[in-house]
Amino acid sequence: MDKYDSVNASNVCALSFFSGCGGLDIGVQLGGAKVISSLDFEPVAVQTLKANPFFAHSTHECADIRDKKGADYSSLLKSHNPEKLIIVGGPPCQPFSKAGYWITNEKRKGINDERNMVYEYLRIIDEIRPDGIILENVESMLHPTNKAIVEHIEQRFVAMGYHVRRYLINALALGIPQKRKRVIFFASLKPFKDDLTFLSEEEIVKVNVLDWIGRFDSETLSESEETTKGKTYDFELSEVPPGHNYIALSARDGYPNPKFVANKRFWNFLLKLHPLQPSWTIAAQPGPWVGPFHWNNRRLRVREIASIQTFPMDYVFEGTRRAIQKQIGNAVPSLLGKAATEYLISQL
């Protein structure tokens, strides 16, 4: 039975919201559920979903969740008639991002931010009433400033009759070659029987990025966008040792004729991968000199950032290079989605 047959044979179906280019949805299907519907507001992300045979059995809709009702899915659910139904999604994270901390608490909108789609996600969950739910978001959602929204999510789930678990999951604990933490809320109509078993920082798998992207370091796979030759900080990038950032060129690290002052720039300025260490978080919209860069003094290639996010090697991305970077950077690592889905299904 190949991966497509096993998906079609699943008796657990999933409705996906804020689907993006499918990072979480891939994991959902690898974890044992069949994604029968996806929805996203970005046309290019929906084009990516449609371009991949892994989701050939799914309906893909480019729409705003605010315009959707639970009743819109009645006929689809009737046609599939799943034994168990789950809803998965990660509402837009801008209201909870670390970038927001540069704004004073008096000016931050937080729970009232118009980009906060959590309420819409909870609304449609309440209208559909699935057996289980995954709600994922950025680590900084747990910042004290966001306490009200975290409490609101948990209280709403309980009010709807769900049991709730919340975890901060480090992708490294799953062997994913990236330092990336995500907050995941699990909700189930049945009480949870077990706890997650891969959360211990002491048990994090030793993983290096070379094992995942080394195969793509060939001139035949080069991209025009990857070169920094002749650009502003090309020489400085070449001087940064693998595993370091611009601070390696400062007086603090003993660099002769220092180019920079430590702690005066963002930490990921001229940040360079070390082949024998995991990657830092892949950004959705990095600035021109924001890393991680490849240890060979170039920007990472599409297939490299996709592999760091554990997308399948044959996964197709639509759009411009910038649009693809945004899709991949905003995605949930697929293997994290797989582990989360396996856990949820085991509790239903």
Whether residue 275 has a cis bond before it, omega within 30° of 0: no
Annotate 50-94 with DSSP letters as a single string. HT-GGGTTSEEEE--GGG--GGGGHHHHHHH--SEEEEEE----G
Degrees, nearest 5: CA angle 303-306-308: 110
Please, what's the b/e burial string for 167-185 (b: 16 or more CB within 10 A of its CB; e: otherwise)? Answer: bebbbbbbbbbbebbbbbb
Taking CA atoms, 287 is separated from 136, 270, 283, 284, 324, in Å, by 25, 10, 9, 10, 15
Contacts of 146 (CB under 8 A, 6+ apart): 95, 96, 110, 111, 140
Identify the CA nearest to 44 among candidates 318, 321, 306: 318
Q: Within its chain, how far is the Cα of 40 from the centroid?
A: 14
Identify the CA nearest to 54 among candidates 20, 28, 15, 90: 28
Tokens representing 124 are 């449609």
Is 151 in a helix, a strand, or coil?
helix
Just list the catalytic residues.
93
Tokens representing 113 are 């931010």
Identify the CA nearest to 90 among candidates 33, 145, 153: 153
Identify the CA nearest to 236 among candidates 255, 254, 252, 217: 255
